[in-house]
Amino acid sequence: MSALGKGMGMIRRVMALALLLLPLAFLASTSAHASARKTADGKVTRASGRCGSCHPDERVAFEKSRHAGEEMHCTSCHGGNDQTVDEAAAHSGPNWRGKITRAEDPKICASCHSDETRMQPYDLPVDQYDLYQTSGHGKGLAKGDGKVAVCSDCHGSHEVLSAHDPSSRTYVTNIPRTCGTCHGDSTLVRERKLKDTYHEYLGSVHAKSLFDKGNLKAPTCVSCHGVHGASPSDIRNVNKVCGRCHTAERRYFQAGPHAAAMAAKQMAECSSCHGDHGIAPSETARLATSCVKCHAKGSKDEVLGATLLATYQAAEDEIRKAEALVAKADAVPLRTEDYKARIEEAHTYLREALTAAHAVSPEGMSGYTERAKSVGEEIQEELKSKLQNITVEKIFLLVFWFYVIVTIGIIRRFRDADAEVVK
Amino acid sequence: MAGSEGRTEQPQGGESGPGRRQFLRTLSGAFLGIWALGGAGALAAYMRAPEEDHSSTDRIVRIGKLDELRIGEARLVRHGVSPFFVIRTGSESVIALSAVCTHVRCILDYDHERRGLVCPCHDGRFDLNGNVVSGPPPRALPTYEVSTRAGEVFVRV
Amino acid sequence: MSTLPKAAPATSRWDRAIDWVDDRVNLSELFSFLTHFGLIYTPIDTKRPLRDVLHQVRTTPLESYARWPHILGLLTALLFGLEAVSGILLAFYYQPTTLSAYDSTRSIVRDVMLGWLVHHVHMWGSYLLCGVVLVRMLRLFWDGLYKAPREILWFSAVGLAWLVIQLDFTGLLLPWDVKSYWAAQRGLEIVWSLPIVGPLFSTLVGGRTMSEDVLNRFYVLHIIVLPLMYLGFVYLTFATMRRVGLSRIAGAVPKLTTFRRHVSDLIVITLLLFAGLVTLATLMPYQFHGAADPYQTPKGTLPPWYMLAPYALFQLPIPRWIPGLGLLAVALALPFLPAIVKGAGERLDEKRLRMAGLGVFGLWLVLSVLGALVDRK
């Protein structure tokens, strides 16, 4: 009994000691690289072989990546032997490459990603490397510029993720920040005499749409500049780039007098008024304020802008009045669903008028403003007459009072009929 | 109430001519009668429930995809207080019939074998054109216009 | 009883018809129902035939109350009648659910023929009724008409005022309009802060915040419970009048009139009242502000006007139950004013009492104005 008790006490003591030591052991195992080398159990995983024994951080990053499950191994890029923990044996062999330099990075990625047979199962394009060569980054790299972006700068080195993965650096909402790592870095940007386009973009209507409204279709850096072939747009092509999405605006712009004149003078077309990276939301006021940037104040052309604005505002005013009347009718209440639908229609015309304004022709724009205006006026007219119908009730009220008074007269006659009886 | 009580006893004394007095009395009575008429009229106007919105979109009922209706299948559409049957009679032909018996407003059943509608209450029978085949129903069933657009069936009620 | 005048023997077909029914049903009893609600207050013997009773009523001179200041009491009954009629008509269409309350109210005004008139008349009637009961209480107080033997009259006057306010408050919510919803919500907050009564009341109406339950209970209170209680107090008012008579200024000779004149006056007053309400309803209709959105409080919401004074008090930096207790004390003391005055005896002479009452009323007015301005910052 007592021996057993002693034995139990012993076990308890050992366990307590083990519990005390456990965190220490844990610390020891994770803190130093050297100790990792010693305690390594040589655990083999499919993707990283035994490399993880000495390179645990890289292993973790790699195992999470898109590559890990796709017959990619450490050795695919770095070479060497991943079946041993012996450093000399592992870091050797005919294809041993070791640490990959920035200069060779694109080539190594291309060794698979330009191979049609390898990419076919994943339905991936194979032209990224060729495109990269044409890009500003690729050209820089070819000239020996070590600071231009290479594949791993955007995609990550070990942690390459699919562009559809929201945690990926190449996921649509992360793209601006990925580009901004360099293009928003103040020292880098100053050094290279570039614009801090990242921070400019953050203030744009595009960024608001992307981040605030969660519109994944909103343009990011790559929408205009291209992905792997990223390059600054040629100034003559800016309107084409914008016109990819803003097709109607471009059509009107091409039809207007600005297109030829600006092309002749090699002026940036859309961005002259709207700005480039920090594109501001469309404001109707700009119809009148942006002209003065190029045209002399008070000149015929400068005044034209004010005319456009006035036309637009006149239409907008009518619709606002119509809306006020609809609110009034709602309080009565009258049936207003139909009017609300028509006001929506008028708003559409107004919106189209702004698009048409890119042709800077008052005639072209007035087609839409006139329609919007007439809808607004029609609604006002109809609602006014309907609201005035209520005055019919007021006339009826007069008849009613006449009736009441006559009735009171009759009752008074009846009332006084028995005056004698009381006396 | 007391007023009408009193009104029956119009003034009896007075010197003016009985003809004129009688005329005044009739006139006053007629005048007061308009109150009753007007009141009854106003009440009747008020009590008449407003009709449902007549906008055309409300009156077109979407039934569903044509493909989902088997040929020969009858579907009871519960639309407000006037349910109706939608029956696919052929590959392209769909008919819509009121499901309310014209006799005492029972809801009809579809008789698969005889391809007609039968009333569970008094065994009134209708064919698929809505005509009365047998039983007490006095009138044919109303039929509704069916249209098929882009594979969807719509009924105009 | 045999000395009472008898009606002339039946001559017309009408008279004979009355006699025929009267022999089989006690019409006099039915008729006496009218006396209970004050239309006539000549004492009648229900055992006599109806035509004799009518004859007696017609020929007995009476003191008409269809004139100032007695008309205030008459109006509390007449307006209630008009509210009842228009309210019944509204109930034909109104649906007390949070989903359809607003739409059904709007539909009454917009789609139902003359629905706007019924609805707006109901609304203006309630405004007038609020004013009338308030003025009536003031006048009863001013003329000292709560003293023996009129304590019950005062009691029922206070009861009527309370009921009118509650009717107004419960009715306010029913359209489920954005303004009315939030006004009622504010009001409910105030009621909630009254000690004891608040939680009790909230339990009664189904919660502290607006919900389907509250709406439905407000509806039931508004159309059944409160009107029945109101009817009870109207009965009580006329019952005191039949016992203690109409009030009159000391020393004045009672002005007698005939039944016919009295009824004519009643009809004319009803007619004028109706015409006035129709006029107000036409010229100043109710405004719809959109259906209530429980998740969005509009700016500038105030509780209903009779709650503005407590609303102002609740802005004070003291726990809410303190003004709540004060309010409750005033509300509970009000019906027992006669007993309080009697208890005070000589110390409270007429003039001092009037001034005190005027002071309280003035304070209430000032607080109400302050309450209306609280959120105007």
Is a pLDDT exceeding 80 seen at residue A197? yes
Claim to verify: residue C225 and residue C291 sit in the same structural domain: yes
SS3 state at B30 = helix
With a pLDDT cut of 70, the percent of chain B lying above it is 83
Of the candidates B6, B42, B49, which has its C-beta nearest C263's C-beta? B6
C294: confidence class by pLDDT, cuts 50, 70, 90 = confident
Instruction: Write phi, then psi, for A300 (nearest 5 degrees).
Output: -60, -40
Same domain, C258 and C296: yes
Percent of chain C with pLDDT over 90: 30
B102 to chain C, minimum CA–CA distance in Å? 28
Q: What are A320's two structure tokens?
A: 């606002």
Q: B127 has which bridge partners?
A: B116
State which residue of chain C sits closest to B8, comparing Cα positions. C14
Q: How far apart are the first and last CA of chain A?
A: 128
Neighbours of C (≥3 Cβ pairs closer than 8 A)?
A, B
pLDDT confidence bin for B4, thresholds 50/70/90? very low
C199 is a domain residue:
yes
Facing residue for B35 by CB, picked from A407, A414, A418: A407
Least confident of A24-38, C88-102, C363-377: A24-38
Q: Nearest Cβ partner of B2 from C89, C112, C263?
A: C263
Q: List subunits contacting chain B, requiring 3 or more Cβ pairs under 8 Å.
A: A, C
- The answer to whether the Cβ–Cβ distance between A414 and B34 falls below 8 Å is no
Q: B3 pLDDT exceeds 70?
A: no
Q: Is the pLDDT of residue A339 over 50?
A: yes
CA A157 to CA A169: how far, in whole Å? 11
Mutating which of A338, A411, A415 best tests the B interface, going by the most B Cβ atoms within 10 A?
Answer: A411
Contact B60, B154 (CB under 8 A): yes
Span of B70-79, C9-18, C212-221, C244-253 with lowest mean pLDDT: C244-253
Nearest chain C residue (CA) to B52: C111
Listing DSSP states for A302-340 in one string gives HHHHHHHHHHHHHHHHHHHHHHHHHHHHHHTT---HHHH
Question: Is residue C82 included in any domain, yes or no?
Answer: yes
C137 lies in the same domain as C217: yes
**How many folded domains does chain C comprise?**
2
- As a whole number of angstroms, the distance between CA A198 and CA A217 comes to 18
Residue of B nearest to A403 (CA): B31
Final residue in a domain of this structure, among C303, C331, C351: C303
pLDDT given for residue A322 in this prediction: 94
Q: Which of C303, C333, C348 is the last residue of a domain?
A: C303
Question: Residues C28-83: pLDDT tens digits?
Answer: 888 888 877 777 777 788 888 888 888 888 888 888 787 777 888 889 999 999 99
Other beta carbons less than 10 A from residue C62's beta carbon: 17
Same domain flag for C105 and C143: yes
Same domain flag for C154 and C52: no
Identify the CA nearest to A326 among candidates A382, A390, A392, A394.
Answer: A382
What pLDDT is stored for residue A35 in this prediction?
Answer: 37
- As a whole number, mean pLDDT of residues A312-316 equals 92
Q: Using 50, 70 and 90 to split pLDDT, how confident is the model at A38? A: very low
What pLDDT sits at residue A43? 59
Q: Confidence class of residue A246 from pLDDT cuts 50, 70 and 90?
A: confident
Predicted local confidence at residue A32, as pLDDT = 41
pLDDT of the residue at B14: 46
Structure confidence at residue C257 (pLDDT)? 83
- C296-305 burial string, b = 16+ CB within 10 Å, else e? eeeeebbbbb
Residue pointed to by tokens 């910052």: C377
Average pLDDT rounded to a whole number, residues B122-150: 86
ipTM of predicted assembly, 2 dp: 0.81
**A with C: how many residue pairs have Cβ under 8 Å apart?**
60
What does the pLDDT read at residue B16? Answer: 54
Judged against a pLDDT cut of 90, whether residue A319 lies above it is answered with yes
What percent of chain B stands above pLDDT 90?
8
The reply to whether C90 and C119 lie within a common domain is: yes
Long-range contacts of C333-342 (CB under 8 A, 24+ apart): C334/C158, C335/C154, C335/C155, C335/C158, C335/C159, C337/C141, C337/C146, C337/C154, C337/C158, C338/C146, C338/C147, C338/C148, C338/C150, C338/C151, C338/C154, C338/C155, C339/C151, C341/C146, C341/C147, C342/C147, C342/C148
Tell me whether residue C326 is in a domain: no
Q: Cβ(A79)–Cβ(A93) under 8 Å?
A: yes
Burial of B123 (0-12, 13-18, 19+ CB in 10 A): exposed
Hey, is the C-beta of C283 within 8 angstroms of any chain A C-beta?
yes
Query: Which backbone phi and psi does B111 adopt, to 5 degrees?
Result: -100, 105
Collect all residues with Cβ–Cβ distance below 8 Å to B39 and sequence separation of at least 6: none
- Region A265-287: mean pLDDT is 82
How large is the average pLDDT for residues A200-225? Answer: 89
Distance CA C250, CA A90 (A): 123
In a domain, C320, yes or no: no
What residues of chain A lie within 8 A of the CB of B32, using their CB? Answer: 407, 410
- Domain range for C20: 13-60
Give kind and range of the element (H or E) at residue B117: strand B116-118
Between chains, do A397 and C282 touch, taking CB under 8 Å as contact?
Answer: yes
Q: Does C112 touch chain B (CB under 8 A)?
A: yes
Contact flag C288-A418 (C-beta cutoff 8 Å): no
pLDDT at B6: 40
Helix, strand, coil distribution of chain C in percent, nearest 5: 70, 0, 30
Q: Last residue of some domain: C23, C38, C60?
A: C60
Sheet containing strand B109-111, strands side by side: B109-111, B116-118, B125-127, B132-134
Statement to judge: residues C101 and C31 lie in one domain: no
- Do C249 and C127 belong to one domain? yes
Q: Which two three-digit tokens encode residue C7?
A: 């009606």
Whether the pLDDT of residue A28 is over 70: the answer is no
What is the pTM for the complete model shown? Answer: 0.69
Considering only alpha carbons, which residue of chain A is nearest residue B38?
A: A400
pLDDT band at residue B37 using 50, 70 and 90 as cut-offs: very high
Residue A235 has pLDDT above 70, yes or no: no
- Asked, for residue C170, whether it belongs to a domain, the answer is no
CB hemisphere CA count around A192 (13 angstroms): 16
Q: What's the distance, CA C197 to chain centroid?
A: 22
For residue A158, what are the CA distances in angstroms to A43, A44, B59, C81?
19, 18, 63, 86
Mean pLDDT, residues A169-184 taken together:
91
Closest chain A residue to C258 measured between Cα atoms?
A422
Confidence at residue A381, expressed as pLDDT on a 0 to 100 scale: 92
Can you give the CATH number for the domain in which C150 is found? 1.20.810.10
Model confidence at A419: pLDDT above 60: no
By the CB < 8 Å criterion, does A407 face chain C? yes
Beta carbons of C260 and A417 less than 8 Å apart: yes
Residue A401 has pLDDT above 60, yes or no: yes
Q: What's the confidence (pLDDT) of residue B5?
A: 39
Residue C101 sits in the same domain as residue C192? yes
C56 in the same domain as C89: no
The predicted model gives C339-368 an average pLDDT of 84
Asked if C36 and C75 sit in the same domain, the reply is no
Q: What is the pLDDT of residue A180?
A: 92
Domain positions in chain A: 300-391
**Which chain C residue has the Cα nearest residue A394?**
C282
Which residues of chain A have a CB within 8 Å of the CB of B28? 410, 413-414
* C314 within some domain: no
- pLDDT tens, A67-109? 887 878 888 888 888 888 888 888 888 788 888 888 888 989 9
Q: What is the mean pLDDT of residues B26-36?
A: 87
- Name the residue among B10, B13, B28 with its Cβ closest to that of A420: B13
Tokens linked to A333: 């209440």
Nearest chain C Cα distance for residue B32, angstroms: 12
Q: Average of pLDDT values for C267-277?
A: 93
Q: How many residues does chain B have?
A: 157
Say if A398 is an interface residue toward chain C (CB within 8 Å).
no
State whether C153 and C17 are in the same domain: no
